[in-house]
A and B are shown apart, each in its own frame.
Chain A
Amino acid sequence: MYINEKDIEEYFIRQEPFYLPTGNEVLVFTRAWENRMPVLLKGPTGCGKTRFVEYMAWKLNRPLVTVACHDDLTAADLVGRYHIKGGDTVWVDGPLTRAVRSGALCYLDEIVEARKDTTVIIHPLSDNRRVLPVEKLGKIIEAQPEFMLIISYNPGYQSIVKDLKPSTRQRFVSLEFSYPGEDSEIEIVAKESGVSKETAAALVKIGRMTRNLKEKGLIEGASTRLLIHAGKLVCSGVEPREACSYAITGTLSDDREMLSAIGEMVDAVF
């Protein structure tokens, strides 16, 4: 069996990912990289933050190391730990250390989800020192010039306890993301899912209608990602209304009346 397996230092994105810039984020990101500054991406779920990072990794021709943060993520998970190998203890670098050594782009997705001790270890990496102290090895690793730290978070629904501390956020260049404009979003949905422009426009219309309900019953409206999911289902032959019901309606809410209301919106558009 052939398994496509790569070391993370070799994970280069070879094909250009589809990304439609909404402002001058590409330029700002490139300048930040040239100036060795870390970047913070803010924005709602599914609006294209991860895709943007992939696109930039391709554009800058750097390997991309992505870590999805969760509340059990420890500093050791990022930096590395000792393993036992053949009766000896062997040090194994964590993804962050490997990125630092190889000059990769290291993307810590949803950083606030990680434990607080984890966020602190990125401090010396994200100021002018650009070093990673590895306590257990008694070493300090200097980051390669091409190394860049990128973190993302969604300020929308995180609790105050999990908010980014000022000492962390004030090290970063902030790029704010929101859902793309209507025309761009139609283009993205059509291109990513393969549906016609008309169907994409209808899906985007539904997406925008649900976003109007933010704080009027929904915590968050449908993301571009959800619209693409619905589009993919349509493309595979699922009837549009049904596709929306599976990919959008059911995903946004469990409330019976809200489900009916979203159903009415879908019916009005398709």
Chain B
Amino acid sequence: MGSYGQRILSLFPTPFYTGTRIYFDGDMEEEGIDKLLDGLTSEKADEVISAARTLSAVKPELAFYLLLFFSNNRFLLEEGRLAQWVKVVLDLYDAQGLLPAQDFIKLGKNHPLFPLYLGSGVTLREKSSILETYANSLGKEQLVIKEGKSHYTDTTSIFLPSRISTFDDNKKDMLLYKAMVTHKYGQIHLETYKLDLGGIPDLTRELKTRYGDTDKENCLSDLRRFFSFFPDPYIACDIFNLADTVRIEAWISHNLPGLYRELISLKKELIFLRPILDGSTAITRVMDGIVRWWLGEDEELCPVMIREMIQSLFEKEPCTADLAFFTYDFYTLVGVLEGPYKPVEQIPYAGELRPEEAARERLRKRESTRLEFRRQLSKLICELETEKEITVTVPPSESSSTFREGKRVKQDLPQELMVNGKAIPVPEVMGKIIEEIYEDLGSIPSSYFTISDEMSGHHFSHLCDVSPGPANLLSETAEGVHALDEWDYRRQGYRKNWALLRETEVPDGASESYEEVLAGYGTLLRRIKRQFEVIRQNQVLLKRQKDGDEIDLDATVGAIADLSAGINPSDELFLRLKRDRRDIAAIFLIDLSGSTNGWINRMERDMLLILCEALSVLQDCFAIYGFSGNTRLRCELYRIKGFDEPYGGKIKARIMNLKAYEYTRLGPPIRYVTEVLSRTEARTRLLITLSDGKPDDYDGYRGTYGIEDTRQALIEAKRKGIYPFCITIDKAEHSYIKHMYGEINYIFIDEISHLPSKVPEIYRKLTT
């Protein structure tokens, strides 16, 4: 019997059936199953037997195969991932049955599903936030990291593979991610996609003469059009991509020397992972050789002339037009080689060139900047209150030519706009938009200044592009209506004056009496009031202190008297104001969306009554608002109690009159009450939200959009010194709340009926 034989055999019933045989008493020993774990330390054997026991409890055969094919999975034991592997096996067994699970055990690392479930390496999911922050630190550009099937950028987003497991070392995999992000940032920063054929007419002419006029003028992107001039656009594209990588690496070597050093050693390791070409054409072999040489392999792989061309490219900080010239020269040299060309594998961190995607994104950005420009312009004109006929121009700039030596020359940004011949200084917000337009187009096209009469006068209502909801919409100019910005995570910017919010008072006079409700909570109310009385504190002037703000005259007179009497006087002669008084202002924001209808609404009302009773003991300054809405054009904020309203019968009646209304657009009410709260002078300012689910509204305010807007509104509140806290009764997963409020700034109450007792308790804990 093997060292762990008894324990192994105890895992299986007798007789034990497998798909192929029945094991009776003694058969397993005969087969040597009991000796399979011999040689393992007792600790390791314990771990395997424990895993086998878990499997055996579900299906003894799974444990049997674990032992039988243990050698195939032993590496998991060494890596400490056996428990994780067991989970995968059981999931597979539950989902697909015994045979697939058995295969999975048998094939170990070689099973096709292994990399998916237990693959090594680094996943984008765990690193995207770090990579995005890193990408944004590299420059002013606002970039987003996204998962994609291939690696490229459209100049706004960087697409990366979901997992990298190229190396055995996770650090190197992460480094590869970082190199990819930096490379793509380099493309955006160095304007790879902004090749302008208009700036290099000589080259275009020469290409047409040499290769015939294959110009595809309808191409969205000039870069794609440039490739189309060549007989084999794929070769041109690969040459350009290589040249671009060379100049990006030169940029990295100057700006991020630490990364460049690591990249050099990473490149050497990447050579070994490159597939070896078999029976390829001359041109394919040469192209592959050049890439290999660039990664650090032997010089012989790359012709001397090309080596020198690439080296000089590395040294001279080329612009994108220079890359086009380089591509042409390079193509002339290699184009004569025997084809056809089978595109070689690109350098892993260089990814693909996607000129169309970049062009499309550029057009989208251009359109949104144009709209934003016009919106700001109409706002500016509205404020000026000029006559109907308006002419807007940009004052002439000193540098008028847009191209110099193939490079676009950036003009000076205008500091003023001429409105009807009068110079108006450019507002800050507009300045940023103008900067974007200049970055893109070099100047502001005259069409941008064409503003229709209706736009200038009614910029808000005419520029909305979302179809309004069914109910009565608010008008921006109506009394008590506030236009608030909303955060659009997709463009990482605000939609100005996007949501219209109206503050109204909840009408009082409900059918049910609040006295009855309060009477029903008699015991709870007494307990809570007692607890709150304990923490109530007033500011106290402490007399006869050794130090303080003012002299205690009584004590001083006494001391002088003592001194005259020949007694040693006391040194406790000061008055001090005790500072640890409560100085708190709190706003409670209550979800009155349709989903709270019924029981939740009832419990919210009860909770508010109890809370108000408790807070009136504390004499803390507090306000209560309810919110609901229908589209961005009608966000309703119901004032239940304002800061300056005393708590009394009227407030109680309003609480009893609360109803569930429509949707949950959380951002606008948070922004509004943040303003209310920041006008108070309290030392501690609290914003407590009670909610029953994710932000959700009729016009696209759901999912990531709603969550990100709410999060942004909360960040704004925090910046104003407000402490936000959320009480949620959402039974579904609430990881989104963690994202919005922060890890420790929310609490989940699973039992609705506990609301009246829990909420005052939470408030007490938060403020003491």
Contacts and interface: CB of A to CB of B under 8 A. Distances in A.
A and B co-occur in one complex: yes
Interface in A216-236: 216-217, 219
Interface in B526-584: 549-551, 556, 559-560, 563, 569, 573, 579
A13 B88 CA distance: 72
A89 B551 CA distance: 10
Contact of B142 (A76, A205, A216): A216
Q: Which of B257, B563, B680 has the most CB of A within 10 A?
A: B257
A269 interface: yes
Nearest to B259: A268
What's the interface size class on A, roughly?
20 to 34
A87 interface: yes
B256 interface: yes
Given A82-B551, A89-B551, A160-B679, A267 B259 contact: yes
What's the interface size class on B, roughly?
35 or more
Interface stretch (B126-134, B236-244, B440-448, B614-622): B126-134
Nearest to B674: A160
B542 to A, nearest CB: 15
A268 B178 contact: yes
A261 B137 contact: yes
A269 B137 contact: no
A140 B139 CA distance: 55
Interface stretch (A56-64, A119-127, A207-215): A207-215
Contacts of A246: none
Given A216-B142, A264-B178, A202 B257 contact: yes
Contacts of A19: none
B258 A267 contact: yes
B720 A212 contact: no
Given A268-B182, A269-B256, A269-B258, A89 B556 contact: yes
A220 to B, nearest CB: 11
B490 to A, nearest CB: 15
Contacts of B579: 72
A257 interface: yes
A216 B257 contact: no
B169 to A, nearest CB: 15
A205 B138 CA distance: 9
A261 B131 CA distance: 7
B136 A212 contact: yes
B551 A261 contact: no
B140 interface: yes
Given A160-B678, A160-B679, A212 B138 contact: yes
A71 B110 CA distance: 66
Contacts of A209: 137-138
A267 B678 CA distance: 40
A134 to B, nearest CB: 15
Contact of B134 (A87, A205, A261): A261
A87 B563 contact: yes
Nearest to A158: B721
A264 B130 contact: yes
A4 interface: no
A270 B560 CA distance: 68
A161 B138 contact: no
Interface in B96-147: 129-131, 133-134, 136-140, 142
Contacts of A87: 560, 563, 569
Contacts of A160: 678-679, 720
A131 interface: no
A173 interface: no
Q: Which of B131, B133, B257, B680 has the most CB of A within 10 A?
A: B133
B549 to A, nearest CB: 6
A159 interface: yes
B140 A159 contact: no
A196 to B, nearest CB: 14
A2 B679 CA distance: 51
A138 to B, nearest CB: 17
Interface string A149-160: 000000001011
Interface in A237-258: 241, 257-258
Contacts of B258: 202, 241, 266-270
A257 B182 CA distance: 18
B757 to A, nearest CB: 33
A60 to B, nearest CB: 34
A109 to B, nearest CB: 20
A8 interface: no
B149 interface: no
Contact of B129 (A82, A159, A261, A268): A261
A265 B257 contact: no
Interface string B652-680: 00000000000000000000000000111
B719 interface: yes
A74 interface: yes
A233 B560 CA distance: 56
Contacts of A161: 678-681, 721
Nearest to B563: A87
A241 B261 CA distance: 14
A210 B137 contact: yes
A260 B719 CA distance: 23
B14 interface: no
B678 A216 contact: no
A81 to B, nearest CB: 8
A258 B129 CA distance: 8
Contacts of B721: 159, 161
A27 interface: no
A84 interface: yes
A178 B719 CA distance: 20
B255 interface: yes
Contact of B133 (A74, A219, A257, A268): A257
Nearest to A74: B549
A264 B721 CA distance: 30
A266 B178 CA distance: 13
Nearest to B178: A264
B580 to A, nearest CB: 13
A88 B262 CA distance: 74
Nearest to A86: B563
Interface string B149-189: 00000000000000000000000000000100010000000
A239 to B, nearest CB: 12
A34 B627 CA distance: 58
Contacts of B550: 76
B184 to A, nearest CB: 14
Given A76-B549, A89-B556, A159-B720, A216 B255 contact: no
B611 to A, nearest CB: 25
Nearest to A258: B133
B134 A264 contact: yes
Given A160-B679, A205-B255, A217 B551 contact: no
B742 to A, nearest CB: 9
A7 B475 CA distance: 65
Contact of B257 (A81, A210, A213, A269): A269
Given A89-B556, A159-B721, A212 B257 contact: no
B129 A257 contact: yes
Interface in A141-176: 157, 159-161
A248 to B, nearest CB: 12
Nearest to A88: B560
A257 B125 CA distance: 12
Nearest to A72: B579
B511 to A, nearest CB: 42
Q: Which of B137, B139, B681 has the most CB of A within 10 A?
A: B137
Interface string B674-694: 000011110000000000000
Interface in B411-469: none
Contacts of B556: 84, 89
14 contacts: A74-B549, A76-B549, A84-B556, A159-B721, A202-B258, A209-B138, A212-B138, A216-B136, A217-B133, A217-B136, A219-B719, A257-B129, A262-B137, A269-B257
Interface of A: 72, 74, 76, 81-82, 84, 87, 89, 157, 159-161, 202, 205, 209-210, 212-213, 216-217, 219, 241, 257-258, 260-262, 264-270
